[in-house]
Structure 1
Amino acid sequence: MQTASDRHEYPAHWEADVVLRDGGTARVRPITAEDADRLVSFYEQVSDESKYYRFFAPYPRLSAKDVHRFTHHDFVDRVGLAATIGGEFIATVRYDRIGAAGLPAASDASDEAEVAFLVQDAHQGRGVASALLEHIAAVARERGIRRFAAEVLPANTKMIKVFTDAGYTQKRSFEDGVVRLEFDLEPTDRSLAVQRAREQRAEARSVRRLLGPGSVAVVGVGRAHRGVGRSILDHIRDGGFTGRLHAVNRAFEADRTEIDGVPAHRSVREIDGPVDLAVVAVPAEHVPQVVTECGEHGVQGLVVISAGYAESGPEGRERQRALVRQARSYGMRIIGPNAFGVVNTSPGVRLNASLAPEMPRPGRIGMFAQSGAIGIALLSRLHRRGGGVTGTTGVSTFVSSGNRADVSGNDVLQYWYDDPDTDVALMYLESIGNPRKFTRLARRTAAAKPLVVVQGSGSAPQGHAVRATRLPHATVSALLRQAGVIRVDTITELVDTGLLLARQPLPTGPRVAILGNSESLGVLTYDRCLAEGLRPQPPRDLTTAASAADFRAALAQALADETSDAVVVTAIPALGEGATEDAALAEALRSAAEAAPGKPVLVVHVELGGLAEALSAAASTGPQATTAPATPTTAP
């Protein structure tokens, strides 16, 4: 009897982790002779109806001959793939190469194969069959197969829809009560669009499950408030999380039932009811046990705060790879390890599962950073610049991915693309692992909402699972620019640009009016506008003696001028008697901008420390923020 090794060695490169329609994950891999018991167990859990659809007749159990046939493949003319969760089969697909008469054929005689699926009823509707079809089609093309044929009962509408929705060029016929489908495996524009749409929905849903849990367990909560786990527990509770919260520590006394009013448990297994998200803050050597407990309890996702992974060297890198494999085997996705955490300010969630001591003000700006230090800087800078005082300029969601062993900036982009709570997306990328995929996703996102990116040097920080791009920095910058991404250089520029986009209307053209009380600052602004391809008007110098009323009148005139599309206001401290106070200047600018809300107004200042706060306070009292944050600078 021919075995798999008679033709080809086990094709390990066919193994893959896939994100399903509901955001869970599954492992796709080839079926081998060692899977006999798994196959039998899987088949026993399939309903009689699904078995009937697969074999066109009652087929209550697999014979020994069936089991042998379905587990022994040559990986060329006969291939079987399984989708697994927790090591167990949830779905299978196989193809058999056939000749013109529909009989088995050798690879040198035919480029057509018959394909068949079986999905466990409990997992139907999760997009498993669609994912398996994509993978078996790729395998078939690799083995020289150009066309699939499938016979389906007319009542099996779900399977017919899987084939039809795949987007391949298809021919359909009906004979002897069976629908016969034939389709070419050559990718088409439609099939590629279908795959990318499926990818977007699945990856967005997986992030949504992490950011919008109904129940959270913090694992590693110590008795001392200074510990990481205890701090995160406090932040979630104090932030007003709307769901169920649990504290977990295996060192808790057996009779302890709560800690600061939060139910306490010694293991995730002890929690009654589902847990959607686990925040893991235990030493790295204890994380595998926690992941096992979470997986067995049905936890949907993990935020791993724990350090000691790839950032610590070769041993840590292997520990990180094992962590991802273990989590995905249970269908869980991971943010981290070495993560700062996640935030969702939505009134229906209010989750601050991060090391940020205060819940950020709610708003419509999404933020992503890789390292915790950058995350702290972003949140702090946004808070100091007045983010959130208007209800639009605060944070919608925040993700710090740490070592980004699993969830990366690409996944978050997929989520933001159709997130109704996010109008502006800000990303600080210390490296870009796959610039082509990122720019593809960024192009689509930027067409729907502004996307602002700080691009790092291109060298991945220690510990990042995704290899840094080898493309030159200038090439990546050009790709981002072509994708419609707004690229800036610093955290300050990132936050200020985000606030500008969140508060301001878009200019209708490139014409810029410039006014202020500093001639030199106005000239610098003029030169910078020219360098950026804008059409600035000659700066209007109000002199250092300008009062708040002078600023208001000049701004009102510039906004009414039909030859300008945007206005930049520059300001330096006024000296002497009658000098303009920050609050008075802010109110003057706000009232003028509010009277003509169709144009954006940007305020650039030097050494006016209270102007940004005053502008934010003034804006918060009006019906709509119409002036951009005051941007401190020494040169525009």
Structure 2
Amino acid sequence: MDDATRDDADAAYPAGWEADVVLLDGATTHIRPIRPQDADALQAFHVAQSERSTYLRFFAHLERLPERDLHRLVHVDHTDRVALVATADDDGPQGYRIIGVARYDRVDEDEAEVAFNIADAQQGRGLGSVLLEHLAAAARERGVRRFVAEVLPQNGRMISVFRDAGYEVRQHAEDGVVSLAFDIDPTDRSLAVMADREHRAEARSMRAVLGARSVLVVGPVLPGAPPPRTLHLGMARAVLAHLALADPQVRVQSVGTDPVPDADATGAADLDERARAAAVAAAFEGVVGPVDLAVLAVPAQYAPAVVRAIAPTGARAVVLMTAGFAETGPEGLALQRAVLAAAHRTGMRLIGPASYGIVSLGQDGALNASLADELPAPGRLGLFSQSAALAVPLLDAARRRGLGLAEFVSAGHRADVSGNDLMQFWADDEGTDVVGLYLESIGNPRKFSRVARRLALIKPVIVLTAGRSGQVVPPGHAVRPTQAPGRAVDELMRQSGVIRVENTHQMFDVAQVLALQPLPAGRRVAVVASSSSGATFVAEAAATAGLVVAGAQVLPEDADDETAEALVREVLREPDVDVVIVVRIPIVGAPDPRFGRVVARAAADSGKTVVACVLGLRGVTDELTAPGPDGEPRTVPAYATPEDAALALGHAARYATWRSRDHGRPLHPEGADLRRAARLVRGWLTGSAQVVLTPEQAGELLAAVGVHVLASTPAHDADEAAAAARAIGYPVALKTTAPALRHRADLGGIRLDVADEAELRADVAEVLALAAEHRPEPGAAPLEVQAMAPRGSSCVVRSVEDPLYGPVISVGLAGDASDLLGDVAYGIPPLTDVDVADLVRAPRAAPRLFGYRGLPPLDVAALEDVVARVAVLSDALPEVRSLELNPVVVAERGAVALAARVTLAHADRADNTRRLQRT
């Protein structure tokens, strides 16, 4: 490769393929495309390999790579020849070492030969599987659809990597070599395998953090550092004190937490960056490893050096408590990236910056590496908070209500660890029953949806977002911009099965009932109150919360214990009652504490969901606790007001319904040829940043996935319109292409059932005169002639590629009313068939499709098929920047799109199934 070609290759370096990944042991590594300057590192990697590994890779023993081969291996074009390397920090001359290589060489348009080589010491960590995921994703971006490989029969490890990835591998043996071939388009199984690998890796990384038994606390008193800020020193000392109090079995060490004389503190103030890093590293020479977790309260500019200095201790993760990073501007963002890179390339996860800390009160022992002086009692509630400030009231609210805590993590600016990582952990954690998340921003909505849905199917997940839209981006949070409507967040939460609440008060109200009571079997509620007016009020509150009132009973204030217990038990025995709200607010005096025990005994024996509003009681109380049939204590949660109790029950009942329903199957519409669609898109986008497809091109693209668009013929005048109509056959439809009128039959822009040429010519004159007052579509003929579609209801199906959410699908019935009232339903692919059915039925005007006011029911299944095909196309091809089918006429039989508008642009979607997002 000459210098000019090398410059072109460097210019085409696909930086978007760089990624930090979590391996199966919970540690991290960096993956990136190979570069020419990797030659020495690649040679060192090869030389360090065992003779067997070298033979299996090259079918021969090579002590060193010949210079010619080495040059070829590190000089690639990132299109037809692609190589990815996994790297780790190293003290050698390069500053890093290669621990794995994956490459492909294109054979033809669709096929490429693939090869792997993993360092002997790194095998068994899932690195081969990760490299395959990334290499396959890169290949698909370059149009490759199939990998082939030649493998020696004894290389079972490589063969298993391909098979275990979920691909359907075809193989045959010839002349002592096994030839393999497999398509790399994602399948349900390969996606499930990737998600499961990601789940296990991220869960294990969090398990190492929350199960830490050896902690290193680093304060701001470091060589070369300015006099420590009181805040930083106070943070470090608080964590030290809390660690010692929580569990004396946790081994705690510290660096930089004790003040030193001024002369010593400033002695290295004039050191350059390299010398300062060496001085900082020397400060850690006395630390005894291994260390599980490091907690840092150091000035921001020292964080990268400190992270590198603690790497030799074996730390698995770093909690960074101090701020001063991305929230301060570009320099702070660069500093945040530097500390993140330092952590990941030495195998560590990063929690923070601006973290309040972590708490674990599980069975393995207590860990309080946080700033919290007082903690809730041990329990089964998992809490996550991005905000350090909100961590204080969250922990305090749990403590005051008596809700027991299992784990708490504050991610601060979530440069690395996010709520997704904790949800991965909680899905497997037997000590957690309910999860609560406070999210200031959602940096990876597609992954959030996938991970939250997996967790919500087994444990309730309660989510509070900063701001109703859920799109608030606080300083320091690196989040892509979004143009998605605020309701997209609602749809994201609904699809994921999480319970979205409005404030912290509601979060713990819902957590109480889910943590202390069985899931509601249904929405039918009975009310027991101490007055008839109170019963009526509570019944109204329950109905407002989405419950179905099955009855209300009045329990007089002066009723004795036997009467009270008999009435509550009678209500609980009713077969048409799923949940019960008990309200006891005496008019005179304080409530009798014996009443609570009566309710608790009846509830514990019934197995049904019961909540209470009793004056003076809140949260978990002894008065509302009684042993169940198994002898274990059961508590009826107490609420401040009946409305709070009803609202919490409503959320719990909806969650129980979602969890028990059929969630459907992935969409695979028959005849949808996504490969053909991808080839068409690549061809049209060649050399262009953005392309608006012609009607013919849009029809061809949609036909590839099985969506039929009724063809139309452009016309400039009456003669061309008449010729088109004769070719089509009367009756026909005549339309203007003026954007303001193109869908407006009520304004005369569309003429239907044009029966003959005379009528057509008259309509042409009227439509052209009407359109003359409006700006025409640039470059388009002023008229279109189209065959008549069957009569039915007109709908609009759209897909928009959002920078943050990816594809957002919307469905609504056509017309001004739907647009003005926002009567549109949204879905975020990937969708299931059940998701599509819900989407079509969600608009308030949807009853028009089902036989509204005596009209015949329409072919809703045909509309669902169109929506499903649009969803699959949009999910598979992020280059489809926008797509609109307007209208889609749904008839008694079938649904047909009458017009399609499609805009293409080069893809910029984060591949959420395989990448640990970096800020």
- TM-score, normalised to structure 2's length? 0.62
Question: Is the counterpart of residue 337 in structure 1 residue 353 in structure 2?
Answer: yes
Q: How far has the Cα of 1:484 moved from its partner?
A: 1.9
Report the counterpart of residue 298 of structure 2 in structure 1.
Answer: 282
1:26 CA drift (Å): 1.1
Partner residue of 2:632?
Answer: 624
Aligned partner (choices 562, 565, 580) of residue 591 of structure 2: 580
8 Å CA contact 1:345–1:362 kept in 2: the answer is yes
Distance, in Å, in 2 between the alignment partners of 1:501 and 1:290 is 42
- Matched with 1:515 is 528
Q: Which amino acid aligns with 1:267?
A: A
SS in 2 for 1:327: helix
Q: Is 1:40 aligned to residue 23 of structure 2?
A: no
Q: CA deviation at 1:148?
A: 1.2
For 2:178 and 2:620, locate their aligned partners in 1 and report how far apart those are by CA, in whole Å. Answer: 70
Contact 2:613 2:642 in 1 (8 A): no
Distance 1:516 1:221, change over 3 A: farther
- Does the C-alpha gap of structure 1 residues 293 and 313 become closer, same or farther in structure 2, counting only changes over 3 Å? same
Q: 1:251 to 1:504 in 2, by over 3 A?
A: closer
Q: Which SS does the other structure have where 2:382 is aligned?
A: strand
Partner secondary structure for residue 601 of structure 1: strand
Whether 1:528 and 2:528 are equivalent positions in the alignment is no
Asked if residue 218 in structure 1 is aligned to residue 224 in structure 2, the reply is: no
Which SS does the other structure have where 1:630 is aligned?
A: coil
Q: Partner residue of 1:179?
A: 178
1:58-81 Cα deviation digits (max 9, x unpaired): 222222222212111122222211
- Structure 2 partner of 1:165: 164
Residue pair 2:352, 2:417 contacting (<8 A) in 1 also = yes
TM-superposed deviation, 1:479: 2.7
Deviation at 1:556, TM superposition (A): 2.2
Aligned counterparts of 2:328 and 2:612: Cα–Cα separation in 1:
45
Q: Which residue number corresponds to residue 801 of structure 2?
A: none
Instruction: Give 1 or 2 for the bigger CA radius of gyration.
Output: 2
| Cα drift, residue 635 of structure 1 | 3.6
Matches within 5 A, 1:564-575: 564-575=577-588
**Range with bigger deviation, 207-216 or 18-27:** 207-216
Of stretches 407-416 and 239-248 in structure 1, the one that deviates more from structure 2 is 239-248
* Gap regions ≥5 residues in structure 1: 99-108, 255-264, 388-393
- TM-superposed CA distance for 1:277, in Å, is 1.0
Give the whole-Å Cα distance in 1 for the aligned partners of 2:481 and 2:581. Answer: 38
User: In structure 1, what is the equivalent of residue 785 of structure 2?
Assistant: none
- Report which stretch shifted further, 308-317 or 265-274: 265-274
Give me the whole-angstrom Cα distance separating, in 2, the residues matched to 1:268 and 1:190: 47
Identify the residue that residue 384 of structure 2 maps to in structure 1. Answer: 368
Q: State the partner residue of 1:9.
A: 12
Aligned residue among 380, 384, 396 for 2:396? 380
Pair 1:593-2:600 in alignment: no
Report what 1:236 is aligned to.
243
Alpha-carbon separation, structure 2, partners of 1:329 and 1:113: 30
Letter in 1 for 2:641: T
Alignment partners' CA distance in 2, 1:472 and 1:519: 44
**CA deviation after TM superposition for structure 1 residue 329, in Å:** 1.8
| TM-score for both structures, normalised by structure 1 | 0.89
Task: Output the CA distance in 1 between the equivalents of 2:626 and 2:438.
Answer: 27
Matched, 1:404 2:410: no
Instruction: Give the whole-Å Cα distance in 1 for the aligned partners of 2:78 and 2:580.
Output: 66
One-letter amino acid of the structure 1 residue matched with residue 411 of structure 2: S
What is the CA-CA distance between 1:194 and the residue it aligns to? 1.3
Deviates most, 533-542 or 28-37: 533-542
The alpha-carbon deviation at position 317 of structure 1 amounts to 2.4
TM alignment of 1:215-364, pairs within 5 A: 215-220=214-219, 227-240=234-247, 242-249=249-256, 267-364=283-380
1:426-456 per-position Cα deviation (integer Å, ceiling 9, x unaligned)? 1122222233321222111111111111233
Which is worse superposed, 43-52 or 399-408? 43-52
- In structure 2, relative to structure 1, the CA distance for the partners of 1:153 and 1:432 (3 Å cut) is same
Correspondence for 2:621 among 610, 615, 622 = 615
For the Cα contact (< 8 Å) 2:129–2:165, is it kept in 1?
yes
CA drift of 1:367 comes to: 0.9
Distance 1:92 1:536 in 2: 63
Deviation at 1:203, TM superposition (A): 1.5
Letter of the structure 1 residue corresponding to residue 255 of structure 2: V
Q: Which residue of 1 aligns with 2:194?
A: 195
Q: CA deviation at 1:321?
A: 2.1
Preserved contact between residue 243 and residue 250 of structure 2 (Cα < 8 Å):
no
> Compared with structure 1, are the counterparts of its residues 535 and 614 closer, same or farther at alpha carbon in structure 2 (3 Å cutoff)?
closer
Q: How many angstroms does 1:138 deviate by?
A: 1.5
The answer on whether the counterparts of 2:220 and 2:299 sit within 8 Å (CA) in structure 1 is: no
After superposition, the C-alpha distances for 1:252-272 in whole angstroms (9 at most, x for unaligned) are 779xxxxxxxxxx98334222
2:553 equivalent to 1:540 = yes
1:341–1:520 CA distance, 2 compared to 1 (3 A): farther
> Which residue of the other structure, out of 452, 455, 458, is the alignment partner of 2:462?
452
Classify 1:433/1:626 alpha carbon distance in 2 versus 1 (closer, same or farther; 3 Å).
same
- SS of residue matched to 2:32: strand
In the aligned structure 2, how far is the partner of 1:485 from the partner of 1:625? 28
Instruction: Mark the CA change 1:534 to 1:327 in structure 2 (over 3 Å): closer, same or farther.
Output: same
**Structure 2 residue matching 1:337: 3-state secondary structure:** coil
Is the 2:624–2:636 contact (alpha carbons within 8 Å) kept by the matching residues of 1? Answer: no
| 1:272 match: secondary structure | coil
How much identity, in percent, do the aligned residues show?
47
SS at structure 2 position matched to 1:295 = helix
Shift of 1:275: 1.1
2:95 paired with 1:92: no
Q: Which residue number corresponds to residue 18 of structure 1? A: 21
Residue 580 of structure 1: how far off its partner (Å) = 2.7
Report if aligned partners of 1:250, 1:267 keep a CA contact under 8 Å in 2. Answer: no
Shift of 1:6: 4.3
Q: Separation in 1 of the partners of 2:618 and 2:210? A: 31
Q: CA deviation at 1:625?
A: 3.9
2:525–2:551 contact (8 Å) kept in structure 1: no
Q: For the residues of structure 2 that align with 1:287 and 1:627, how far apart are their CA atoms?
A: 46
Q: Secondary structure at the match of 1:592?
A: helix
Alpha-carbon contact 1:524-1:635 (below 8 Å) kept:
no
Correspondence 1:27 to 2:36: no
Is 1:435–1:469's contact at 8 Å kept on the other side of the alignment? no
Distance change (3 Å), C-alpha of 1:585 and 1:313: farther
Moved over 6 A (4+): 221-226
Cα distance in 2 for partners of 1:250, 1:399 equals 23
In structure 2, what residue type is equivalent to 1:430? Answer: E
Task: Give the distance between the partners of 1:614 and 1:480, measured in 2 at CA.
Answer: 28
Given that 2:29 and 2:344 are in contact with CA atoms closer than 8 Å, whether structure 1 keeps it comes out as yes
Aligned with residue 465 of structure 1, among 470, 478, 487: 478
Q: C-alpha separation between the residues in 2 aligned to 1:565 and 1:197?
A: 36
Matches of 1:315 and 1:71, distance apart in 2: 33
* Count of aligned pairs between the two proteins: 603
Equivalent residue for 2:510, pick from 497, 500, 521: 497
The answer as to whether partners of 1:269 and 1:297 remain within 8 angstroms in 2 is: no
1:288 deviates by 1.7
Partners of 2:556 and 2:175 in 1: how far apart? 91
Shift of 1:618: 5.1
Q: Which runs of 5+ in 2 are unaligned?
A: 90-95, 222-227, 262-280, 645-919
SS in 1 for 2:581: strand
Task: Tell me by how many angstroms 1:233 deviates.
Answer: 1.1
CA distance in 2, matches of 1:477, 1:440: 15
Contact 1:252–1:266 (8 Å) recurs in 2 = no
- SS in structure 1 of the partner of residue 546 of structure 2: coil
* Residue 143 (1) aligns with residue 168 (2): no
In 2, Cα distance between equivalents of 1:43 and 1:66: 12
2:509 and 2:136 map into 1 onto residues whose CA distance is 47
Aligned to 2:814: none
